[in-house]
Amino acid sequence: MILSMTGFGSGELILNNSHFNFYIKSLNSKNLDISLKVPSRIRILEFDIRRLISKKLIRGKVELLITQDYDRQELYIQNSDLFKSEVSKIEKMRKSLIEEKIISENFSDNFWTGSAKHLQIFNRTQNNSSKLNANSKKKILQKVKEIVEELSQFRLKEGSVLEKDLLYNINSIYNNLERINKRAIKRKNEVRTKLQNKILALKEVDKDRFEQEIIYYIEKYDINEELIRLDSHINLFQKNINSNKPVGKKLGFISQEIGREINTIGSKANDFNIQKIVISMKENLEKVKEQILNVL
């Protein structure tokens, strides 16, 4: 079964007083392109995260986002000594500004309101830069592994939908190939009869010349080789679509060969009925090519 390159996964993890949200998504791409947006304290795990993703996903444009929320009630408990030191500095500054009459006693409440924002930013920075212990690292990597697996399952489901659509269109091309095969036999006889009637209308007929002209025109408009190759390419496409390995690029190459044979048949046939069928085949092939871009 084929896999899609489109997928999504999410999860959450609570460590101490921090709440982490995990989001991962993937889109189609020629190669594996991984983009990470994580809090600074998790950057130490970036190599491990990339290795984990690349081992599982193989190809696609993958974006992983990890956000960190804080428990506001516990925000100022962490790094209490540093926090108290900052409070002490601000209080000394406040008293100094009052003594120097730069601010009044009445303005001190406003002073503390602005300072509180500084303290919040300071303490959050301290929390965010704190190192992760071994257990926390293990839990974060495990959560990444879980959402990557969720994304993989999403890809599998999307792949099932893609497979049905691809098979429908490639089978439509095959059915039209059968129609052309039937029409090609009648067409060859029609070409021979038409040439024969034209030559017989002439006063003098060179028998050898007549046979040469028949052979020339039949070979010029013969599409038997193209029909055989097209049949072979379609069979190869159907065989590979059932593979358990990544086949997106291979299916892309096969579809190019299918397109080449269809174009040649259309240009050589010189037959209105066949050209109508060729147009229908091209429509199906365009849908195939469009879907293949999203196949792993």
> Residue 78 phi/psi, 5° resolution?
-65, 145
Residue 249: predicted pLDDT: 93
Average pLDDT over residues 59-65: 95
Residue 11: predicted pLDDT: 95
> What's the pLDDT tens digit per position in 66-107?
998 865 444 444 555 666 676 677 677 767 767 766 556 665
Could you give the CA distance from residue 187 to residue 181 in angstroms, rounded to a whole number?
10
Is pTM beyond 0.85? Reply is no
Residue 76 gets the label, from left (phi > 0), alpha (psi -120 to 50) or beta, of alpha
Strand 32-37's sheet: what is its strand order?
A: 7-15, 18-27, 60-70, 32-37
Q: Give residue for tokens 């189609």.
A: 28
Residue 210: predicted pLDDT: 66
Q: Which of 29-38, 62-71, 236-245 has the highest mean pLDDT?
A: 29-38
Average pLDDT over residues 143-149: 97
Could you give the CA distance from residue 169 to residue 251 in angstroms, rounded to a whole number?
13
Enumerate residues 6+ apart whose C-beta is below 8 A from 199: 205, 210, 213
Chain centroid offset of residue 120 CA: 41
